[in-house]
Amino acid sequence: MSNLKYRIGAIVALCLLSLWALFPRNVKVQQRGADGILRDTIQRHVPLRKGLDLQGGTYLALEVDESKQAIAPDKIPDAIERALKTVRNRIEGIGVSEAVVQTQGKDRIVVQIPGIQDPERARQIIKDQAFLEFRITDKTQALERVLPRLDQVIRDKGLAAPTTTASAPTKPAASKGLQGLLTGTDTVKTDTSKAARKDSTKTDTAAAVIPTTGGPFSSLIQQSPGGMPGEYLVDSDNALKVESYLALPEIKAAMPPGKQMLPSNDSTVLQSKVYKLFYVVDAKPIVTGESLTDARPNTSPLEGTIVQFTLDNIGGRRFKTETGRHVHDYMAIVLDGRVMGRPPIIQSAIGTSGQITMGQGRDIRDAQDLALVLRAGALPVPLRVAETRTIGPSLGQDSINKGFRAGAIAVVLVVVIMLFYYKFSGVLAVGGLALYVLYTLAILAGFDAVLTLPGLAGFVLSIGIAVDANVLIFERIREELDRGKTVRTAIDEGFRHAMPAIIDSNVSTILTAAVLYQYGTGPVKGFAVTLIAGIVASLVTSIFVVRTFYMIWLQRSRGAQTLSI
Amino acid sequence: MLRILHDTKYDFIRHWKKAAVITIAWIIVGLGFLAIHGINYSIEFTGGTLMQVTFKHPPHIDDIRATVDAAGYPNSEITKFGSDTEYTVRAQPHASANSTAGDSTGTYIQKALQQKYGNDVTVGRSEFVGPRVGAELRTKAAVAVLISFIVTLIYLAVRFEWRFGLAAVIATAHDVLTTLAFLAMLRLEVSLTVVAAILTVIGYSLNDTIIIFDRVRENLRKQRKESLYDVLNRSINETLPRSVLTHATTLAATLALLFFAGEVIRPFAWIMAFGIFTGTFSSIYVAGALLLWIERKWPRSASGQGKGTARAMAEERRRSTQESVVASR
């Protein structure tokens, strides 16, 4: 009797514990704010958060982009760790709450933003490396001297062959489209049509240029007439080709010592032709964005959209001496390897503040985003998007509705089968099944699991599989009854004999699930957690709970001669 | 007491040759499908972009294709997804685009579609996976399955006996093959959800095999004067009601998923539905027949470690070989 009391007590306690685990509550969390100070913040902790596929939102996985910057493989984890902070700051900067930013494995950052309206913007903000440099433009005409060498490199690589010119046209089209998308939605229409037109005419113009002037590289660039030293013009159709040439390691090596040629975001119109600007600059920056303490977007009637920045004391002092030494030179403001606007002339030594001109007609939001990424700091390494997933909120809701409908139908079918076949014992099994659902959900909440669509499917399926242990036990009880045992002994023996089979089959499944949890990724991992929770709950309910139900029944019926099973 | 298949005495093992022919033929046909069409990997494995697009009015699939082509993705796959107004677009990034541009593919296609259909089109979901992630996933999934096999083998070797473990693992490997054949025949897309489904089938089938083997172990301990052949048959028959009932409830849940849980879950449900059949089949014919075969091939010595099972099975083997000698006369 007292044994039975303890059993009932244990079941009730488990139920209460499960309910507690499943109830939303407020928890105090120490969190580092945007200013870097730890504070206690009250967070609403909702167990079994819906995954992005159920509530809608954006998932981004970022990894180190080795194509942009060489980095030793063993340095990647450290770089990712540092990049994580920057990414987190940036995400907080755009004002999304409940975003999850964490590392996955050693070389990946995962960002999950529930219910974001503009995934493209978030992606861009995260991706920008925001590495700011100030470099002096070259005034020694150093490039002219190496042009034959550069031409030779291109020829040696066989890149000037007609095949490359033919494949090149798609590139400007793509980048044009991208530019249009990033600046605003209304310009897209004209941009894509322009791109399409360019596709058809491009090959002719490119082919026409090459034979007229010298080498494959020098023919593409021309010195800016009357421009500042180190400034070059490139027909906008060829700009991407030049950029891809400049990215070649052989070309980089052939450049004049200590110099680099960088593209600019600016263009100019000469004789009704659009030219992109390129600059030859010092390879070594005078100051980098690491010294930056603040950046604010602004508009100026003269220069259009600008971002004003402030440097810290050390950076400011360096900036002052360096600019003092280069008075009357031009200084390029380089962001992520691209010169921003036309380099301004240095009138006198500059102190701790300056500005980046983004040009007329640029959306103030672009300036806001740039200021944000500058403030949040540069990424220690360039990142590239390895994976994105964006799910609309209505699709998520639809998935939930369908998932729950399927779950309800599954439960009804399983209950009907059990009641039909096992009658009274079936009722006990169904009671156990109800507790199974409760316990499983509670264990999942304990794991802090996220409810995803595959997880939901796995859970529905587990309802069908969960009764297996009950079935094994009931069949054993039937066998014992067939042998003429009394009801009480038949139940005892039935549970006892079914045990090895239940243990072995479930333990082997748990082992499999544990391996999946250890070696699987993403959804497979979530699935493994669902599986483990289901098995544990099923073991508890079938072995312990249903057994207790039988004991209660035996107690009440006081030596029943028949068992409905 | 309502009973199904109570106290049956079917000779299951007798049909093992027929069963072997059927299952090998099935696997060969499936592998043939694989050889012709290749595995239809989802973008999670191949990399690329997948979009699920909903239209207000049923569109013409050629119009969608033309729009996506014009956006610069001529080799995209456009497929109907469930209803007349739902489509998926699967595209690969431009070959010429640089490595960072791939993730914008979805945005380009979305803009192109919105230009053509205006507000009649909504993008329900858009996924992009870079090429490296895909390759990594493929190896990781395979490694996970292999390790789980090894762990199972060790566990069963400890709890039962290595012969049982080997038979169970081979039977499970058989299930992986038949399930792969099945998804090749249906040309289902292999996504992570499908991998999860295959893993569930593995677990389920293993479960089933262990339940029967547990009976075999128990019956062998009783030291009846029966051959292993008969013990196997008896064990399968004794566990038959349990098998029928558990398969029924699992199938009920699976069918609920198949018909009511929507398009995304459907491949998972298909594989699970097939898995219930192949799991049952392999527990009886593959695992049972294999155990018999392994036992004949590598009989254990009678002076075993004194374990009940081992001794019983050793005696068993002697008896059964004598019987077979008698039978051959």
DSSP string, A40-92: EEEEEE-SSPBPHHHH-EEEEEEEE-TTTS---GGGHHHHHHHHHHHHHHHHH
What residues in A contact B253, CB-CB < 8 Å?
Answer: 410, 413-414, 460-461, 463-465
Question: A185: helix, coil or strand?
Answer: helix
Q: Hey, which residues 225-254 in chain A have their CB within 8 Å of chain B?
A: none
Residue of B51, B67, B257, B271 to mutate when probing chain A, most A C-beta within 10 A: B257
Q: Are residues A278 and A419 in the same domain?
A: no
Q: Any idea which fold B13-39+134-328 has? A: Multidrug efflux transporter AcrB transmembrane fold (1.20.1640)
For A37, other C-beta atoms within 10 Å of its C-beta total: 8
Q: Can you tell me the distance from the alpha carbon of A53 to that of B50, in angstroms, rounded to the nearest whole number? A: 14
CB proximity under 8 Å: A 72-91 to B: none
A433 and A482 assigned to the same domain: yes
Mutate which: A191, A504, A532, vs B, most B CBs within 10 A: A504
Contact criterion met (CB < 8 Å) for A464 and B132 = no
Q: What is the pLDDT along chain B (329 residues), one digit of tens a residue?
A: 778 878 888 888 888 889 999 999 999 999 999 899 888 888 888 888 888 888 888 888 888 888 888 887 888 888 888 888 889 888 887 654 444 456 678 888 888 888 888 888 888 888 888 877 777 777 877 787 788 888 888 888 888 888 898 999 899 889 999 999 999 999 888 888 888 888 888 888 888 999 999 999 899 888 767 888 899 999 999 999 999 999 999 999 999 999 998 888 899 999 999 999 999 999 888 898 999 899 888 886 543 344 445 555 555 555 555 544 444 44
Tell me the backbone φ, ψ of residue A467, rounded to 5 degrees. Answer: -75, -5
> Chain A contacts of B204, Cβ < 8 Å?
465
A110 in any annotated domain? no
C-beta of residue A509 within 8 angstroms of C-beta of residue B157: no
Looking at the fold, whether A402 and A313 belong to one and the same domain comes out as no
Shared-domain flag, residues A356 and A397: no
Q: Does A308 lie in the same domain as A246?
A: yes
Does the beta carbon of A281 lie under 8 angstroms from any beta carbon of chain B?
A: no
pLDDT at residue A412, rounded to an integer = 94
Give the B window 117-136 contacts with A, CB below 8 Å.
Answer: 122-130, 132-133
With CB atoms and an 8 Å threshold, state whether A524 touches B195: yes
Give A72's contacts (C-beta < 8 A, 6+ positions apart).
none
Find the closest chain A residue to B158 by CA distance.
Answer: A504
Dihedral pair phi/psi, residue A106, rounded to 5°:
-105, -15
Q: Class of the B48-129 domain?
A: alpha beta
Does some domain include residue A383? no
Are A63 and A386 in contact by the 8 Å Cβ rule? The answer is yes
Q: How far is CA B228 from CA A325, A355, A387, B237, B313, in A?
A: 96, 87, 54, 14, 8
Same domain, A398 and A465: yes
Q: Which residues of B touch A168 (CB under 8 A)?
A: 96
Q: Is A105 left (phi over 0), alpha (psi -120 to 50) or beta?
A: left
Instruction: Tell me which chain B residues have a C-beta less than 8 angstroms from the C-beta of A429.
Output: none
User: A residues 30-59 near B, CB within 8 Å?
Assistant: 53
CA distance A332 to A325: 15
Would you say residue A44 lies in a domain? no
Question: Are A9 and A156 within one domain?
Answer: no
Residue A36 belongs to a domain = no
Supply the pLDDT for residue A186: 31
Q: What's the total number of domains in chain A? A: 2
Chain A interface includes B34 (CB < 8 A): no
Closest CA to A389 of B124, B157, B308: B124
Q: Do domains B13-39+134-328 and B48-129 have the same CATH topology?
A: no
B140 touches chain A (CB under 8 A): yes
Residues A409 and A530 in one domain: yes
For B289, half-sphere exposure in the C-beta direction (CA atoms, 13 angstrom radius) is: 17
**Residue B247 near chain A (CB below 8 Å):** no
Write down the domain spans for chain B.
Answer: 13-39+134-328, 48-129
B150 → chain A, closest CA residue: A512
What is the rounded (10 degree) CA torsion for A54, B88, A198, B129?
50
Same domain, A404 and A537: yes
Beta bridge partners of A38: A32
- Smallest Cα distance from A400 to chain B, Å: 9
The whole-model pTM stands at 0.73
- Same domain flag for A474 and A534: yes
Query: Which residues of chain A does B206 touch, with a Cβ-Cβ cutoff of 8 Å?
Result: 505, 508-509, 512
B155 part of contact set with chain A, CB < 8 Å: yes
293-322 in B: which are within 8 Å (CB) of A? none
| A389 contacts B125? CB cut-off 8 A | yes
CA dihedral for A72, A73, A74, A75, sign (positive or negative): positive
- What chain A residue is nearest to B211 in terms of C-alpha separation? A501
Q: Is A249 in the same domain as A346?
A: yes
Domain assignment of residue A197, given as a range: 133-360
Q: In chain A, which stretches have pLDDT less than 50?
A: 34, 161-212
Chain B positions in Cβ-Cβ contact with residue A188 (cut-off 8 Å): 111, 115
User: CB-based contact (8 Å) between A499 and chain B?
Assistant: no
Distance CA B112, CA B121 (A): 11
CB-based burial, A342-380: b 16+ in 10 Å, e otherwise: bbbebeeebebebbbbbbeebeeebbbbbbbbbbbbbbb
User: Quick one: pLDDT at residue A411?
Assistant: 93
In a mutational test of the B interface, the residue from A416, A515, A565 whose CB has the highest number of chain B CBs within 10 Å is: A515
Report yes or no on A143 lying in a domain.
yes
Helix or strand run (H / E) with residue A299: strand A292-300
B215 contacts in chain A (CB < 8 Å) = 501
Query: What does the block give as tokens for A232?
Result: 């070059």
Q: Rounded distance, CA A114 to CA A117, Å? A: 9
Token pair 């793509």: residue:
A174
Q: Are A406 and A488 in the same domain?
A: yes
Does any CB of chain A come closer than 8 Å to the CB of residue B114?
A: no
Non-local CB neighbours of A66 within 8 Å, separated by 6+ positions: none
* B-chain residues near A403 (CB < 8 A): 261-262, 265
Residue B49 exposed, middle or buried by CB count within 10 Å (0-12, 13-18, 19+): buried
Give the separation between CA B244 and CA A462, rounded to whole angstroms: 17
pLDDT at A430: 94
